[in-house]
């Protein structure tokens, strides 16, 4: 299983991208298991907020930072923290 | 829902027709506070303030205590002495400078033109690398200290965020695609103008940078954006390279960042720079006036594109200075210079 997170937007508009593979990331499958990408609210158009695009094996959703809560937030921060 | 002791229609009457300017002012402010999102546009047009009326800011600084929760605890209200937290006190000062700029340059009374209370929350999140406008207030992170310093530092960041509020209350440009890039550009243009006004710089003396001082030491770059030379503000292995185009030929098609609003804003940003330096003098006086009147004039469509906005600025310049004026020619040339030639009789 592969998860890719791309953060875009923000005042700086600087993109950050990270990917994790369950083959080398033992926590990934458990974190993904608690996430429902189909029930993510639309990101809204809040000036300068961060937007997170999450891709789980080809299933994709974009969420605004104001709606990034719970298991999805844990997953996003987990994946982003593995690169930087 | 909110309860009103004085019904809004009565407040509107007072705001528009009362003889006492202080009373009008108070009524406008009450209205602004109770119906920030709805009544203000109509009212601003109808209830123009007396020329001698002195506008007074109404600032509130809140502290999120490094959590990502709004609005946070109030640490300084309008008129209160410095609270001792350097970040909170700077946010207070920069809100004041931004308010003073809009009053002095364009006779605008706060974000909505009707004295709206300005709220900033500082110390948002843990080493949070951002600042934003959430539709009601400004929010600032402290930065991670490695790539970014505190977002309360540079005056133009506050100017940028507050201008998102001005745009929301006027043309309400859709935050997507070209209209979104124009929305971003308005914030950069007036953010830079506020800084230039504060420093007393003419167009040829200004740095035309956005977020100068925001990059931590050791990061390769001078700022986050350059209006003079979009695409040259930073180049760093950790941040990448400034991706902004300065010309329509290099417009970036993307669905990320709401259609590249922070990328393609380089094009209208550079057009403003060309117009301002083409006219010369203080950029907020003429080029700024043309952009401000265009943004707030009430005739822009929310989903306007670059070409439509370019034509609208030429119309505004023509109305203000005449079709054959130096100013109108400079505006025309500026848009042609970024590959967005305004229509012949636009």
- pLDDT of amino acid B269: 98
pTM for the whole structure: 0.88
Chain B's closest residue to A68, CA to CA, is B68
Q: Is residue B230 part of a domain?
A: yes
Q: Any idea what the CATH number is for the domain that residue B49 is in?
A: 3.10.170.10
Q: Is residue B4 part of a domain?
A: no
Residues B307 and B186 in one domain: yes
Residues B129 and B228 in one domain: no
Quick one: which of B44, B18, B160 has its CA closest to B107?
Answer: B44
- pLDDT of amino acid A45: 87
* Contact residues of A toward B, CB < 8 A: 6, 8-15, 45-51, 53, 66, 84
Q: Which of B131, B157, B262 sits opposite A13 (nearest CB)?
A: B262
The packing angle between helices B326-337 and B266-279, to 10°, is 150
Token couple for A9: 């937007």
E-strand stretches of B87-202? 118-122, 131-133, 138-140
Q: Which of A9, A12, A15 sits opposite B258 (nearest CB)?
A: A9
Q: Determine the 3-state secondary structure of B54 from DSSP.
A: coil
Answer yes or no: are the C-beta atoms of B131 and B148 closer than 8 Å: no
- pLDDT of amino acid A42: 86
- pLDDT of amino acid B66: 98
Question: How far is residue B314's CA from residue B294's CA, in Å, rounded to a whole number?
Answer: 9
- pLDDT of amino acid B18: 57
Q: Which of B151, B183, B256 sits opposite A11 (nearest CB)?
A: B151
Residues B255 and B287 in one domain: yes
Burial of B9: CB neighbours in 10 Å, binned 0-12, 13-18, 19+: exposed
Residues B213 and B315 in one domain: yes
Report the DSSP beta bridge partners of residue B74.
B62
CB contact under 8 Å between B175 and A45, yes or no, is yes
Residue B71: cis peptide before it, omega within 30 degrees of 0: yes
Question: How far is residue B244's CA from residue B33's CA, in Å, rounded to a whole number?
Answer: 37
Low-confidence ranges of chain A (pLDDT < 70): 83-84
Buried b (16+ CB within 10 A) or exposed e, B268-288: bbbbbbbbbbbbeebbbebbb
What's the domain range around B148?
23-35+44-153
Q: Is residue B51 part of a domain?
A: yes
Q: Any idea what the CATH number is for the domain that residue B299 is in?
A: 1.10.390.10
Residues B230 and B109 in one domain: no
Residues B328 and B222 in one domain: yes
Show which residues of B are catalytic. Answer: 161, 262
Total tally of structural domains belonging to chain B = 2
- pLDDT of amino acid B32: 43
Answer yes or no: are the C-beta atoms of A82 and A75 closer than 8 Å: no
Residues B146 and B53 in one domain: yes
Q: Which residue in B144, B259, B261, B265 has the most chain A C-beta atoms within 10 A of its own C-beta, making it the best mutation to test that interface?
A: B261
Residues B258 and B325 in one domain: yes
- pLDDT of amino acid A82: 81
Residues B146 and B188 in one domain: no
Chain B's closest residue to A83, CA to CA, is B238
Q: Is residue B227 part of a domain?
A: yes
Residues B100 and B186 in one domain: no
Chain A's closest residue to B163, CA to CA, is A47
Answer yes or no: are the C-beta atoms of B250 and B238 closer than 8 Å: no
- pLDDT of amino acid B14: 53
Question: How far is residue B114's CA from residue B117's CA, in Å, rounded to a whole number?
Answer: 9
Q: Is residue B15 part of a domain?
A: no
CA distance B214 to chain A (A): 10
CB contact under 8 Å between A48 and B129, yes or no, is no
Residues B117 and B240 in one domain: no
CB contact under 8 Å between B174 and A45, yes or no, is yes
Q: Determine the 3-state secondary structure of B203 from DSSP.
A: coil
Signed CA dihedral, B187, B192, B197, B203: sign only: negative
- pLDDT of amino acid B135: 95
Q: What is the pLDDT along chain B (346 residues), one digit of tens a residue?
A: 333 344 434 445 455 555 555 555 554 444 443 333 333 443 444 456 777 789 999 999 999 999 999 999 999 999 999 999 999 999 999 999 999 999 999 999 999 999 999 999 999 999 999 999 999 999 999 999 999 999 999 999 999 999 999 999 999 999 999 999 999 999 999 999 999 999 999 999 999 999 999 999 999 999 999 999 999 999 999 999 999 999 999 999 999 999 999 999 999 999 999 999 999 999 999 999 999 999 999 999 999 999 999 999 999 999 999 999 999 999 999 999 999 998 754 4
| DSSP label at residue B70 | S
Residues B207 and B305 in one domain: yes
Quick one: which of B287, B91, B113 has its CA closest to B185?
Answer: B287
């Amino acid at each position: 299983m592969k998860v890719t997170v791309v953060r875009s937007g923000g005042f700086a508009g600087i993109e950050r991208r990270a990917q994790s593979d369950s083959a080398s990331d033992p926590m990934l499958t458990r974190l993904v298991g608690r996430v429902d990408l189909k029930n993510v609210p639309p990101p809204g158009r809040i000036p300068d907020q961060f937007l997170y695009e999450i891709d789980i094996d080809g299933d994709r959703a974009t969420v605004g930072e104001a709606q990034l809560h719970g298991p999805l937030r844990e997953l996003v921060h987990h994946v982003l923290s593995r690169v930087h | 829902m909110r309860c009103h002791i004085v019904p809004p229609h009565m407040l509107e009457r007072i705001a528009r027709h009362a003889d006492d300017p202080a009373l009008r002012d108070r009524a406008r402010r009450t209205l602004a506070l109770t119906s920030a999102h709805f009544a203000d546009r109509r009212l601003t047009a109808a209830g123009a303030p007396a020329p001698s009326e002195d506008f007074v800011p109404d600032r509130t600084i809140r502290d999120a205590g490094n959590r990502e929760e709004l609005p946070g605890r109030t640490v300084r209200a309008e008129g209160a002495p410095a609270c001792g937290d350097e970040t909170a006190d700077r946010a207070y000062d920069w809100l004041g400078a931004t308010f003073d700029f809009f009053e002095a340059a364009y006779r605008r009374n706060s974000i909505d033109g009707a004295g709206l209370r300005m709220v900033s929350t500082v110390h948002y999140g843990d080493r949070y690398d951002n600042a934003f406008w959430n539709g009601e207030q400004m929010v600032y992170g402290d930065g991670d200290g490695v790539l970014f310093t505190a977002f309360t530092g540079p005056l133009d960041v506050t100017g940028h965020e507050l201008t998102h509020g001005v745009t929301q209350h006027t043309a309400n440009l859709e935050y997507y695609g070209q209209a979104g890039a124009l929305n971003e550009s308005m914030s950069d243009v007036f953010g830079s103008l506020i800084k230039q006004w504060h420093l007393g710089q003419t167009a040829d003396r200004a740095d035309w940078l956005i977020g100068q001082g925001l990059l931590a030491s050791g990061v390769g770059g001078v700022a986050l954006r350059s209006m003079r030379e979009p695409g040259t503000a930073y180049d760093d292995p950790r941040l990448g390279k400034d991706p902004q185009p300065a010309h329509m030929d290099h417009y970036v098609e993307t669905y990320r960042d709401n259609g590249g609003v922070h990328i393609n804003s380089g094009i209208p940003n550079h057009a403003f720079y060309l117009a301002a330096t083409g006219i010369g003098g203080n950029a907020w006086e003429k080029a700024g006036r043309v952009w401000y009147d265009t943004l707030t004039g009430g005739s822009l469509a929310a989903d306007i594109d670059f070409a439509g906005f370019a034509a609208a600025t030429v119309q505004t310049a023509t109305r203000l200075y005449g079709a054959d004026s130096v100013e109108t020619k400079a505006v025309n040339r500026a848009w042609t210079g970024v590959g967005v030639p305004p229509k012949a009789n636009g």
